[in-house]
Structure 1
């Protein structure tokens, strides 16, 4: 019996078939993963939510999958399944799991010391390589991109003497509280999901839609914005590409009103060794990069233009002595610096990206052809080694459109279905990443899984 139009979701998926598939796939997952279930039960005794971090339980599975090892483009779970990994730690393992260059560097450094709260030669070399890659001359470090964004905001406010942050609706820059302000019916609203927040963020955070130049200028006009913090391509609400000419005009507006532009390249580093901004000729005042910078080792960095660095240094010198609120004791530890040096020297190089982008293009084209053959109202976007599909016929141009296209139930169903077929994609949205170890047969397995899913649910 054919599915009636009334039974279809906006994405073209049959709700009844989807529910039946999810029930079956959950049972299959439990059957396939008894050791993961046993470990998850054990963890539940002393780990809140049964996992080290609560969001590790948000994968749409009956219990968390437990990893035994990760190498290259594959994970091995405790039940012995070998998964083709297109999540890659949500970009943290963009150069593959346990890359040989980084592993060797960590082993060498571990014998020489782990952390000392003092610099070594690696710091100078890493800063030189970062300056070469990103075109910004002055650098500092952090443990995560969240920390880097938080530290940059402090520097920006100190350097400019301004308090207001401007972000784009639907953005995500780690767990920096300041960014969790959304537009609801055109009005700024503090995000309800932000736990434990006691200050009114709307007093110091302004939010506009991505690609809206008129709104951007209106928000900048009061002259109190310290900086605009943005991904050059929005990625955490699904992909939202800048419209042609948007960033060129936006940069001019930001400069006109005396604000700074900070580009968070943590995900868009998939565009090339200098990120999206470098690849597209943009000139931010500051750049943040995290996750893949250490080949999987926790570390991040942020760079400033010469002018901004001079203002930041002066602000520090003018401040009273004491704690600055910037940096942590373990930041720039010896292991992290060794990992960054190895990554920048041997992995984050132009030749590495060429095959990544090519294979990502094969994946993107394969998805587009599959969706067209099934007449699915979905779109596919590629940013370098990063590919995403969204449940809308035309790529969204702002966060509101991207959010309206999301379907959490469908996303979880796709993730679960692929996981049972030993393919892993990012669960919180439909992102797939190519690393140097990804092979054509991995892509073919992913495409076959998507083909089978659509055949069962449409």
Structure 2
């Protein structure tokens, strides 16, 4: 017998609401539709980046401007922005100190392959914020993770990275694996993949220390690469003792521990690692670390840095396979300096925490009022509602919790009510610019959407 409901919502009602909301969205955006019809054909699949089609709308928004925590499209529709560039603008769009730094640097040159005094100050601020590491600058967190893995292999002389099922570390090939039938395999959605990824990666379930130890015991693992909290797959929280166990196992088996804080920088000042006393050998932070300027950083503990430099200097001079020409440019450094000193502050995080707690409570009350089998998870300023019971334990459970059709209908309904959330996994961020009124509008829009779906 066919199930007539999805996560507590009748299928026929979901279909009707989704159709109505798609029609409302299209009717409100005639200029957007016309502009896309006239000018999008120059791009592959009609978008500049393929994931711009992952938004569950009939056609993409065309943004006219964004400031603080508000975004306006070319049809004049204003939205309270809780996506914030999927963390890239977590501190709000164009924070004033960052915008001022960009204007000042623009007249002094954009890139010249040499450091500046701003770079020296940015390095000091990185260590003051995140801890004692020896830093390198990249353009994206994908690059930072890729370079961190290369450094780990150089130090250990081992070939493989251990990642967790359902993980996300950007588009690093090595991390594009999953567990299927208990075995590590390439992810099914990969395009153009020809290398056997099992030669360079092994996959375990998050929160499964026994599975991690079994893989480490092979002696092939150079590094464990993990987020402190699994994101981009529904949020999965670490169980008590999990991170302490990872640190202990990595040390005992001679592997390095890489913590990717690109999303969990939402946790608080200094990130999840600093706030929870984690001790990574290598730390990666990206997205919002320079206030929205494309920038990521990766840092090695001093002893790991010494070991890496010894391995690097033992090689003949030439291509190391690391670094890109436009990385570590002066614009990145002025934005890093402005963000770390004036934007990414304890006071900003206190505001974000308070707002996110208000948001999580409001969403939870709306779900409870409708007696839906859903739950809400919060990690600092990052909040998600998940259309399944919780808490989730690992990537397999997270994958089963997804309800794409339901989530798409909720998303477009929120857009039509003036609220934008991330297209991935119902993620919402509270920025320093986000007001209590905006949070309350999101909660009200969510309540109205649930009323429609359960009518």
Partner of 1:398: 394
Partner of 1:111: 107
Residue 381 of structure 1 and its aligned partner are, at CA, apart by 0.6
Matches within 5 A, 1:252-401: 252-401=248-397
TM-score (norm 2): 0.98
CA deviations over 1:32-83 (Å, ceiling 9, x no partner): 0111111221233211111110110111111111000010000010000110
1:198 aligns with 2:194: yes
Q: Is the 8 A contact 1:272 1:279 kept in 2?
A: yes
Q: Is the 8 A contact 2:259 2:284 kept in 1?
A: yes
- Work out the number of aligned pairs and report it: 454
Using the alignment, how far apart are the partners of 1:307 and 1:351 within structure 2?
A: 33
Q: 2:149 aligns with which of 147, 153, 164?
A: 153
Q: 1:183 aligns with which of 164, 179, 184?
A: 179
1:91 aligns with 2:114: no
CA deviations over 1:88-138 (Å, ceiling 9, x no partner): 000000100011000000000111111101110111111111111111231
Q: Which runs of 4+ in 1 moved over 6 A?
A: none
Partner of 1:67: 63
Q: Is the 8 A contact 1:229 1:261 kept in 2?
A: yes
Q: 2:4 aligns with which of 3, 7, 19?
A: 7
Partner of 1:220: 216
Using the alignment, how far apart are the partners of 1:139 and 1:349 within structure 2?
A: 20
Q: Is the 8 A contact 1:136 1:286 kept in 2?
A: no
Which secondary structure state, in structure 2, belongs to the residue aligned with residue 44 of structure 1? helix
Q: Is the 8 A contact 1:378 1:392 kept in 2?
A: yes
Partner of 1:242: 238
TM-score (norm 1): 0.98
Using the alignment, how far apart are the partners of 1:376 and 1:136 within structure 2?
A: 46
Residue 6 of structure 1 and its aligned partner are, at CA, apart by 4.6
Using the alignment, how far apart are the partners of 1:104 and 1:251 within structure 2?
A: 41
Q: Is the 8 A contact 1:359 1:440 kept in 2?
A: yes
Partner of 1:82: 78
Using the alignment, how far apart are the partners of 2:4 and 2:107 within structure 1?
A: 62
Using the alignment, how far apart are the partners of 1:374 and 1:186 within structure 2?
A: 38
Partner of 2:164: 168
Say which is worse superposed, 276-285 or 189-198, in terms of deviation: 189-198
Using the alignment, how far apart are the partners of 2:319 and 2:68 within structure 1?
A: 41
Residue 185 of structure 1 and its aligned partner are, at CA, apart by 2.5
Which secondary structure state, in structure 1, belongs to the residue aligned with residue 41 of structure 2? coil
Q: Is the 8 A contact 1:87 1:425 kept in 2?
A: yes
Using the alignment, how far apart are the partners of 2:221 and 2:3 within structure 1?
A: 48
Using the alignment, how far apart are the partners of 2:240 and 2:39 within structure 1?
A: 49
Structure 2: 5+ residue runs without aligned partners? none
Q: Is the 8 A contact 2:159 2:199 kept in 1?
A: no
Using the alignment, how far apart are the partners of 1:224 and 1:356 within structure 2?
A: 41
Structure 1: 5+ residue runs without aligned partners? none
Using the alignment, how far apart are the partners of 2:61 and 2:280 within structure 1?
A: 40
Which secondary structure state, in structure 1, belongs to the residue aligned with residue 385 of structure 2? strand
Which secondary structure state, in structure 1, belongs to the residue aligned with residue 299 of structure 2? strand
Which secondary structure state, in structure 1, belongs to the residue aligned with residue 293 of structure 2? coil
Partner of 2:42: 46
Using the alignment, how far apart are the partners of 1:222 and 1:274 within structure 2?
A: 34
Using the alignment, how far apart are the partners of 1:111 and 1:323 within structure 2?
A: 32
Using the alignment, how far apart are the partners of 2:127 and 2:39 within structure 1?
A: 43
1:412 aligns with 2:408: yes
CA deviations over 1:387-417 (Å, ceiling 9, x no partner): 0111222110100001100011111111111
Q: Is the 8 A contact 1:411 1:428 kept in 2?
A: no
Task: Give the superposed CA RMSD.
Answer: 1.2
Which secondary structure state, in structure 2, belongs to the residue aligned with residue 302 of structure 1? strand
Using the alignment, how far apart are the partners of 2:300 and 2:433 within structure 1?
A: 33
Using the alignment, how far apart are the partners of 2:295 and 2:319 within structure 1?
A: 22
Q: Is the 8 A contact 1:43 1:51 kept in 2?
A: no
Which secondary structure state, in structure 2, belongs to the residue aligned with residue 84 of structure 1? strand
